[in-house]
Chain A
């Protein structure tokens, strides 16, 4: 069993990667699902998550967690570039890539967005390689087929977009070999080295082959694997950091097709909830009067945000201690927020609309069931769980909520450790498990061969 498939999911907040044997779809064995420890190249944090971030410092480029940490120190005027995915999913990709990075990201004003993306991809590919070499099963692979997950593109020209993106990967591949392992060190690489090596990498991208799988398809793939009746109709809600995506899919055999009219992307997701929470904390802390106190408090909240959010989602409230004061945030406070209410309305109507579209298809095919799944870091949110539990039937179709973490992820061999991170890893895992027929595009670039012809 040495032919493997590896899928990367570069989300707004975190990149993830997983591998599975190439024949996993027809012969599924949970033990052979390998989420990769791409975050393991860093000293702290969850080993399966790698912060999607690049920070342009005075004379160095930092990546991942180090980039986030440095951006936090650097204050509000400076930012790490995080939203590669948003950039890659705009309809005019080439133009977006050729835009200069904003001054808050690149104070030197020397990089285009494209440069920073290639740099991040070089880091990601190195981290993936290191993690694959560490995995006792994946490192013995004789061949690895690579894939990446991306949101479905509105423009419809997936094949064209795919070509552009694979080229970025090809350039990143050249760059990372030129830079070497230094790219994985917390101190990153020097801007000087980048100025020398990046233009060369762009001129000579390595040949690169990849498959593209849409995120929703990947989510559907992991949900229906190992199920005897692989739910023919699915609605997927993916709340990540940057976006909440709703997609409807119909499956027949190993083919999954999306019903494009049902797709909705909302701009509110984890990052948005973060800002709602931070505002509530500030409003609840009237003692923080001066600008300096407020800034300090804001920072403290951001630093502990993930824990605060988890506690609020799981227990209904979170308590935070700052400078001798105890501040609490309740789920109820969030529910009262005006922007949050708007988000809930948008979410409910998008979901409802998706269901309607699905129902027509369900009835047309003489089926009766729709399966609902939530993925992404937001799958744990009570309002997302409520949403997909609304199983109201219409006619004779019924909606069944599937757990965010499938039964097989609770298998004893994982000793309870895969389940808590599963929703975040779901897309990379599904992308690695999915059969070839589920890919949205395939192929690659081979500049050398092209040049010869």
Chain B
């Protein structure tokens, strides 16, 4: 049972109207509402992941990856995640914001974004992943 779905209000016949509702803070309530929507997206992502790994499906791998990333992005949006940086963009390296996918011997001044970072409510959950500018081969 998805325990995260606390639905308010609907006066159950057994519940006297004045019975104290759970002392939920608004943040909890908002979180539960967001989770309710994120749940289905996450569940979908899990199933797609299985399909992609098992390979026993008619849909091609690229399309599955599209669907998978779409479901994950949806779950993340519902939870108020934001992405940091733009894929492929060049930025001045900043230890606080960037992580190397493969740490180089000498730290370059400029790096290229390989994977966007993830933040929520002003807090960075995953730093932006970067690589050397040259390695992507596109200048």
Mark A residues whose CB is within 8 Å of B: 31, 34-35, 37-48, 127, 130-131, 133-137, 139, 181, 184-185, 307, 310-311, 314-315, 318-319, 321, 324, 326, 328, 410-421
- On chain A, the residues within 8 Å of B77 by CB distance are 310, 314, 420
Q: Which residues of B contact A421 (CB under 8 A)?
A: 30, 33-34
Which of the residues B7, B36, B41, B121 comes within 8 Å of A410, measured between beta carbons?
Answer: B121
Q: Which of B98-129 contact A (CB under 8 A)?
A: 120-122
- B24 touches A (CB below 8 Å): yes
Q: A47-B29, A417-B31 are in contact. List 10 more A-B contacts (CB 8 A).
A: A40-B8, A40-B33, A184-B10, A318-B70, A319-B67, A326-B60, A412-B122, A414-B26, A415-B31, A421-B33
Asked whether, in the complex, the Cβ of B79 is within 8 Å of the Cβ of A417, the reply is yes
Closest B residue by C-beta to A413? B27
Q: A40-B7, A311-B74 are in contact. Are A410 and B122 (CB under 8 A)?
A: yes
Interface residues of B in 38-72 (CB under 8 A from A): 41, 58-60, 63, 66-67, 70
Instruction: Give chain B's interface residues, CB within 8 Å of chain A.
Output: 7-11, 17, 21, 23-27, 29-34, 36-37, 41, 58-60, 63, 66-67, 70, 73-74, 77-81, 120-122
Residue of A nearest to B78 (CB): A420
Given the interface pairs A48-B33, A130-B8, A419-B80, the reply to whether A319 lies near B66 with Cβ below 8 Å is yes
Contact of A414 (CB < 8 Å), options: B17, B30, B58:
B30
Q: Which of A34, A35, A181, A328 is the one whose CB lies under 8 Å from B66? A: A328
- A283–B133 Cα distance when bound, in Å, is 41
Q: A415 with B9: in contact, given A46-B36, A328-B66 (CB under 8 Å)?
A: no
CB of A311 within 8 A of CB of B11, answer no
Q: How far is the CA of A131 from the CA of B66 in the complex (A)?
A: 38
B35 to chain A, nearest CB (A): 9
Residue in A37, A44, A127, A318 with the greatest tally of chain B CB atoms within 10 Å: A37
Rounded to whole Å, the gap between the CB of A111 and the closest CB of chain B is: 26
Residues of A within 8 A of B121 (CB): 410-412, 414-416, 419
Select from chain B the residue with minimum beta-carbon distance to A420. B80
